[in-house]
Amino acid sequence: MKTFSALLCLALFLVLTAVATAAPPDGVDLKRVTESRAAVVDYWTTQRMKNAIPVEQTRGGGKAKRAAVPWTSYEYPGAYTTFPASTHGKVFFTLNGFNYVCSGTAVNGSNRSVVWTAGHCVNEGPGAFATNWAFVPAYRDGSRPFGTWTARALITSSAWAGQGNISYDVAGAVMNTNGGSALTDVVGGRGIAFNYNRNQYYTSFGYPAAPPFTGQRLWVCESQLQTSDPTTSPQTMGIGCNMTGGSSGGGWIVGGAVHSVNSYGYGNQPNVMYGPYQGSVAQSVYNAASTR
């Protein structure tokens, strides 16, 4: 009887240890995807991708102010399938019965399977997690040169998922393998940075889909840090950029590493794009995604 009790206690200990190991860290919310890879790939027909709408993250208020420092915007001129452009792609997902588009970046990680994007591209903030989540790297005019990659887990900050706190509007999607290969083994991966000096020159990538853009091409904005948003805490960062809805989640690159993502703008601040500062909370989101 004592032997049985000891074995039972040991079994319970091992189960609880496994659960604790699998649980996301504090400050991070996680959804394990239940849809099969095949079901999500089948769902995203060419027509559904074409008809998916951009997520608009335009905030009211704010001090009316145009980008003061010179900046540039242009359609990416090179081959999308060549690294590092191959790491950037278009995100597709469903929320509340509507199909949406965002942008994302494949980043290096222990599991070689992470797409870094905005929190509102995986979760309502606050609210439900997205379904039918897919990433198409190097998307151009409907083509999918590296195929359609589907998520097996969606991870964002608890501050976004629980409170809709725009300062923590970041997320990592952990992708299924495709043809037996991990994502960054196929398209490569960007680095990622946390707790850095804000005053940088940023190169932002995205697939703007709201007019005057079509969402079919990769666009780039280059800008020195222009401003910070005093209505947020910690303050988000603003750069000069004219990209519209659909570019959400696109990476801000400095020296080959993602330092932020396209998050939101103000209706009375033309050509200013805001993105969250990636501090310790964003690092926890990334660590949870990278090691899963």
pLDDT in tens, 197-224: 999 999 999 999 999 999 999 999 999 9
> Average pLDDT of 64-91?
91
Contact yes or no for 125/262 (Cβ under 8 A): no
User: Is-cis flag, bond preceding 24, omega within 30?
Assistant: no
Left if phi > 0, otherwise alpha if psi is -120 to 50, otherwise beta: which for 96?
Answer: left
* Amino acid identity for residue 166 in this structure: I
Per the prediction, the chain carries an average pLDDT of 90
pLDDT band at 188 (very low <50, low <70, confident <90, very high): very high
Per-residue pLDDT, averaged over 35-48, amounts to 98
Structure tokens belonging to residue 203: 């190169």
Please state whether the predicted TM-score (pTM) of the whole model is above 0.85: yes
Structural domains in the chain? 24-57+68-290 (2.40.10.10)
What percent of the chain is modeled with pLDDT above 90? 84
Return the pLDDT at 65: 63
Closest CA to 259 of 217, 205, 186: 205
**CA gap 18, 12 in Å, rounded:** 10
> pLDDT-derived band of residue 68, with 50, 70 and 90 as boundaries?
confident
Among 187, 190, 248, residue whose Cα is nearest residue 215 = 248
- For residue 290, which phi and psi values (nearest 5 degrees)? -65, -30
